[in-house]
Every structure is written in structure tokens, then in C-alpha cells.
Amino acid sequence: MQFRDQPPPQRYPELLERVRQAAALATRWRGESATHQQDDELIDEAGRESFPASDPPTFSHAHA
């Protein structure tokens, strides 16, 4: 059963345990996303370096 599919906690101790589980799950996801963040930074850097230095030509109805 997935975390999201669990029934709501009925008692306070169950709520505390569920919060602990959610925090552990979030910590694991954050650790997994660290490599994705680095990939995103590399993609952004490549995009900045390949973007044309000049402005695009202005649009006019004569071009349409």
C-alpha cells in the first residue's frame, strides 16, 4: 500500500507516526532529486551559452 492510500489516522500517536513517515519520505525524495537539480543546472548553462547574442529582428506586417 502506498503512503497516500493509507486511511487517515484515528488517534494522535498514529498521526505522529504518519508525520514521521512523511518526513522520511520527503527526505528520501530530496536526496534523489539532488542529481536532477545538477542536470537542470547543466541544461540551463548550455542554454545560456547557446542563446544568440543579438536581438531577433523586429516583426512587421511586411514579413507576413
Q: How confident is the model at residue 9 (pLDDT cuts 50, 70, 90)?
A: confident
pLDDT the model gives residue 11: 93
Mean pLDDT, range 2-24, rounded to an integer: 88
Report yes or no on whether pTM surpasses 0.75. Answer: no
Task: Please report the pLDDT score of residue 14 as a whole number.
Answer: 92
pLDDT tens-place string over residues 34-62: 566 667 777 777 666 665 656 666 666 66
Residue written as grid cell 529582428: 57
Residue range 2-22: average pLDDT? 88
- The 3-state secondary structure of the chain reads CCHHHCCCCCCHHHHHHHHHHHHHHHHHHHHHHHHHHHHHHHHHHHHHHHCCCCCCCCCCCCCC
